[in-house]
Amino acid sequence: MNVTNDVRFPDSRLPSQHYEHARLRAVENGVPMVRACNTGVTAAVDSLGREVARLDPSDGKGKVVAAALKAELTPYTYKTLFSKWGNGGILTLSALCLANFLFFGRLFKW
């Protein structure tokens, strides 16, 4: 569940970018997401990132829409590398790359 308020960005693309970021995080963790937003994008996304239902904040002509979203969402989840290791995997890989660069950089005098 993602409850948010994007009223700080009235005439910009930031509410849709905020939604896309939340959608990416759902896929990254392998969980479905239901997002409720009073001034941004309200949507339901499955664990693979596919939109099940979406309600945009305006009608395309700039008029704000007041509506409710009804969606059926399958509670399918799966384990991802990020959900297993968290930030530890990328931090370890970064440290190994840095150590490799420092070792071989001095060896070949780059």
H-run or E-run covering 3? strand 2-4
Is the C-alpha dihedral spanning 28, 29, 30, 34 positive or negative?
negative
| Residues 51, 11 share a domain | yes
| Residues 67, 52 share a domain | yes
| Residues 51, 29 share a domain | yes
Comparing 109 with 86, the larger pLDDT belongs to 86
Q: How far apart are CA 44 and CA 85, in angstroms?
A: 26
| Residues 48, 21 share a domain | yes
Could you list the residue range(s) of the whole structural domain that residue 110 is in?
84-110
pLDDT above 60 for 110: no
CB 59 within 8 A of CB 65: yes
| Residues 65, 94 share a domain | no
| Residues 18, 50 share a domain | yes
pLDDT in tens, 26-83: 999 999 999 988 778 889 999 999 999 998 776 667 677 778 889 998 889 999 988 8
What number of helices (H) and strands (E) belong to the chain?
3, 4
| Residues 71, 46 share a domain | yes
- Report the alpha-carbon angle 68-33-58, nearest 5: 35
Per the structure, how many domains does the chain have? 2
Please give the average per-residue pLDDT across 3-25, as a whole number: 84
| Residues 91, 66 share a domain | no
